[in-house]
Amino acid sequence: MEVTREIVFPAPPDEVWEALTNPEQLEEWFANDVELDATEGGEGVFRWENGEERHATVVEATPSERLVLDWEDEGTVELTLEEVEEGTRLLVRESTPEFSTALALRAMLSYV
Protein backbone atom coordinates (compact mmCIF):
# COMPACT_ATOMS: atom_id res chain seq x y z
CA MET A 1 0.00 0.00 0.00
CA GLU A 2 1.25 3.48 -0.83
CA VAL A 3 0.37 6.68 0.99
CA THR A 4 1.01 10.11 -0.55
CA ARG A 5 0.69 13.45 1.15
CA GLU A 6 1.59 16.98 0.09
CA ILE A 7 2.38 19.72 2.61
CA VAL A 8 3.42 23.34 1.96
CA PHE A 9 5.77 24.90 4.50
CA PRO A 10 6.23 28.68 4.75
CA ALA A 11 10.03 28.30 4.58
CA PRO A 12 12.66 27.92 1.85
CA PRO A 13 13.76 24.41 0.79
CA ASP A 14 17.10 24.58 2.63
CA GLU A 15 15.32 25.18 5.97
CA VAL A 16 12.87 22.35 5.34
CA TRP A 17 15.79 20.09 4.35
CA GLU A 18 17.53 20.88 7.65
CA ALA A 19 14.36 20.07 9.60
CA LEU A 20 14.21 16.71 7.78
CA THR A 21 17.89 15.75 8.05
CA ASN A 22 19.49 17.47 11.05
CA PRO A 23 19.27 15.14 14.09
CA GLU A 24 18.88 18.03 16.55
CA GLN A 25 15.99 19.47 14.55
CA LEU A 26 14.39 16.03 14.07
CA GLU A 27 14.43 15.63 17.86
CA GLU A 28 12.31 18.80 18.10
CA TRP A 29 9.39 17.43 16.11
CA PHE A 30 9.80 13.75 15.15
CA ALA A 31 11.61 11.43 17.58
CA ASN A 32 13.24 11.87 20.98
CA ASP A 33 16.70 10.60 20.02
CA VAL A 34 17.97 10.66 16.45
CA GLU A 35 21.21 9.57 14.81
CA LEU A 36 21.23 10.24 11.07
CA ASP A 37 23.86 10.40 8.37
CA ALA A 38 21.76 12.05 5.65
CA THR A 39 24.04 11.06 2.78
CA GLU A 40 23.44 8.29 0.26
CA GLY A 41 24.17 4.98 2.00
CA GLY A 42 24.03 6.64 5.42
CA GLU A 43 22.27 5.06 8.38
CA GLY A 44 19.67 6.43 10.75
CA VAL A 45 18.36 5.37 14.15
CA PHE A 46 15.18 6.94 15.54
CA ARG A 47 14.11 6.38 19.15
CA TRP A 48 10.92 7.45 20.94
CA GLU A 49 10.03 7.85 24.62
CA ASN A 50 7.93 4.68 24.56
CA GLY A 51 11.05 2.61 23.78
CA GLU A 52 10.27 2.17 20.10
CA GLU A 53 13.33 2.22 17.85
CA ARG A 54 13.41 2.25 14.06
CA HIS A 55 16.37 1.94 11.72
CA ALA A 56 16.66 3.44 8.25
CA THR A 57 19.13 3.52 5.39
CA VAL A 58 19.42 6.59 3.17
CA VAL A 59 18.80 5.37 -0.38
CA GLU A 60 19.00 8.79 -2.01
CA ALA A 61 19.94 12.25 -0.74
CA THR A 62 19.96 15.37 -2.91
CA PRO A 63 20.19 18.34 -0.51
CA SER A 64 17.14 20.61 -0.50
CA GLU A 65 15.50 18.43 -3.18
CA ARG A 66 14.98 14.75 -2.33
CA LEU A 67 15.49 12.24 0.48
CA VAL A 68 14.61 8.54 0.27
CA LEU A 69 14.76 6.35 3.38
CA ASP A 70 14.41 2.58 3.56
CA TRP A 71 12.86 1.62 6.93
CA GLU A 72 14.41 -1.89 7.08
CA ASP A 73 11.51 -4.34 6.56
CA GLU A 74 8.87 -1.64 6.96
CA GLY A 75 8.90 0.05 3.57
CA THR A 76 10.30 3.27 2.20
CA VAL A 77 9.55 6.95 2.42
CA GLU A 78 10.35 9.41 -0.39
CA LEU A 79 10.51 13.11 0.52
CA THR A 80 10.60 15.49 -2.46
CA LEU A 81 10.99 19.25 -1.92
CA GLU A 82 9.95 21.88 -4.44
CA GLU A 83 10.27 25.63 -4.05
CA VAL A 84 6.92 27.36 -4.55
CA GLU A 85 5.68 30.92 -4.08
CA GLU A 86 4.39 30.08 -0.57
CA GLY A 87 7.71 28.47 0.49
CA THR A 88 8.35 24.75 -0.02
CA ARG A 89 6.03 22.01 -1.20
CA LEU A 90 6.96 18.69 0.36
CA LEU A 91 5.63 15.58 -1.35
CA VAL A 92 5.76 12.53 0.91
CA ARG A 93 5.29 9.10 -0.65
CA GLU A 94 5.56 6.08 1.61
CA SER A 95 5.01 2.39 1.15
CA THR A 96 4.08 1.51 4.72
CA PRO A 97 0.72 2.32 6.29
CA GLU A 98 1.74 1.28 9.82
CA PHE A 99 4.33 3.97 10.45
CA SER A 100 3.11 7.17 8.87
CA THR A 101 5.86 9.69 8.31
CA ALA A 102 3.35 11.80 6.39
CA LEU A 103 1.20 12.20 9.47
CA ALA A 104 4.19 12.88 11.70
CA LEU A 105 5.31 15.66 9.37
CA ARG A 106 2.31 17.71 10.43
CA ALA A 107 4.18 18.27 13.69
CA MET A 108 6.97 19.86 11.67
CA LEU A 109 4.59 22.60 10.47
CA SER A 110 4.80 24.28 13.86
CA TYR A 111 8.57 23.83 13.98
CA VAL A 112 9.73 25.24 10.61
DSSP reduced 3-state for 73? helix
Question: How do the residues of the chain divide into helix, strand and coil, expressed in percent and rounded to 5?
Answer: 25, 45, 35
* pLDDT tens, position by position, 50-83: 999 999 999 999 999 999 999 987 889 999 999 9
Question: What is the model's pLDDT at position 98?
Answer: 59
CATH level 2 (architecture), domain 3-109: 2-Layer Sandwich (3.30)
* Whether the model pTM is above 0.85: no
Instruction: List C-alpha distances in Å: 14 to 17, 19, 60, 81, 112.
Output: 5, 9, 17, 9, 11
Domain map of the chain by residue range? 3-109
**What strands, in cross-sheet order, belong to the sheet with 33-36?**
3-9, 87-94, 76-84, 66-70, 53-62, 43-47, 33-36
- Percent of the chain topping pLDDT 70: 85
The span from the CA of 30 to the CA of 19, in Å, is 10
